[in-house]
Structure 1
Amino acid sequence: MKLIVLLISILIANVAIAQKHVPLPHGMVFGEKPDTITLMQASKLETFMGKKTRITTAITGKVIKVIKEKGGWFELDAGKNRVIGAHFTNAGINLPKQLAGRTVIISGIAAKQFIADDLQHMAGDTVSGKKQHKVNTNSGRKISFEVKGLMIDQ
């Protein structure tokens, strides 16, 4: 009897440990399934946007790291030392840390980030007669992406 209990305990422990290291399967979807009709490489997104400040599209790229699992905050490689900061519009999405290094397809809204002159946007007003400037390119993050759906590609 003790032998049976011992074997069952070992079996349960092995199953519990093995579940933590299960790789994420190809085609796994978080949120809505991305529409791949307008799919493009993440490195071509900024060029494709041109002078537009916001577009709805689907892109593919490699996840650099998952910043916050809860809420689905992560960074996507945009090539040439550029990063696209992405997060889910649905805060109920939880992304696993194992997503880092995987190629994904995401769909949603890409937006260029802007700052107001003299940080007056913090006060709720801007200097009249002056235009907004783009975020400094040295920060490495010029485009943010509001993700509606993510699918693991590779």
Structure 2
Amino acid sequence: MKFILSFAAVLVVILLYIRFVPSAPINPVLPVDGAQKEVNGHNAEVPPGDEESPTTEEEAEEGASTSVPPAAPGQTYGAAITPAGALPMSAIATALGTRDSAQVKLVGKATAVCQAKGCWMTLPTADGKQMRVRFKDYAFFVPKDLTGRSVVVSGWAHRSTVTKEDLQHYAKDAGKSSQEIAAITQDEQQLTFMADGVLVQD
């Protein structure tokens, strides 16, 4: 009988201990001592977020706010920036030089904007091609009626290969016909831009 009572008393103590004494998490989150930086092949420090994330573009777009203030002179999207020091689009080749990427501020006229959500736009380069501007971490969008307006963009310019699938996706977002989308059959070397801020000039 004493054994049963002793066992019951020990069991009660254990249960009370488990109930009222908090335990440490099994997988605690450790603090990070500052943001990590990635270094490209030319020793230029590229801020985190410029590389593609493991989530799909559609998933990232869903996570950003779709409430976009209307385009108006002086309106900014993303980080607040000024036109001071902005280079014309014709100078981007000089700004890049032989590097694959460079941090730069550019000014140009938007030639197309994503008509799904405003999640990208294009600016013309000196050789008549288009540089696609996306927005860092999909943290902001731009108005769908930004086409034809002069804008300043601040961020990182990259030389990159855009896949056929991405080109078709962009063409669909731009409102291209199914025939135009089907005509895209191969990857393309393009200048791309990851912007942390956009300013409408006019």
Identify whether the pair has TM-score above 0.5, normalized to the shorter chain.
Answer: yes
Cα deviation, residue 80, structure 1: 3.1
- Aligned mates of 2:149, 2:84 — CA distance in 1: 21
Larger % of strand: which?
1
The answer (yes or no) to whether the contact 2:117–2:144 under 8 Å persists in 1 is no
Cα deviation, residue 73, structure 1: 0.7
Q: Which aligned segments of 4 or more residues in structure 1 are displaced greater than 4 angstroms?
A: none
Identity fraction in percent = 23
- Aligned mates of 1:71, 1:100 — CA distance in 2: 11
- Select the residue among 131, 136, 140 that pairs with 1:93: 140
Larger Rg: 2
- Select the residue among 83, 92, 112 that pairs with 1:45: 92
Q: Secondary structure at the match of 2:105?
A: strand
1:25 aligns with 2:87: no
- Select the residue among 144, 154, 170 that pairs with 1:107: 154
Give the aligned partner of residue 81 of structure 1: 128
Cα deviation, residue 58, structure 1: 0.4
Q: Are the structure 2 counterparts of residues 56 and 44 from structure 1 closer, same or farther at C-alpha, using a change threshold of 3 Å?
A: same
- Aligned mates of 1:114, 1:51 — CA distance in 2: 16
Corresponding letter in the other structure for 1:145: F
Q: Deviations over 1:51-82 (max 9, x none)?
A: 01111110000000102553621111123312
Q: Secondary structure at the match of 1:148?
A: strand
Q: Secondary structure at the match of 1:99?
A: coil
- Aligned mates of 2:189, 2:143 — CA distance in 1: 22
Q: TM-score, normalised by structure 1?
A: 0.62
Matched positions, count: 110
Bigger relative contact order, structure 1 or 2, given CA contacts below 8 A and separation 6+? 1
1:57 aligns with 2:104: yes
Corresponding letter in the other structure for 1:142: Q
- For structure 2, the 5+ residue unaligned runs are 1-68, 163-186
CA RMSD of aligned residues (A): 2.5
Give the aligned partner of residue 196 of structure 2: 148
Q: TM-score, normalised by structure 2?
A: 0.48
- For structure 1, the 5+ residue unaligned runs are 1-21, 116-138
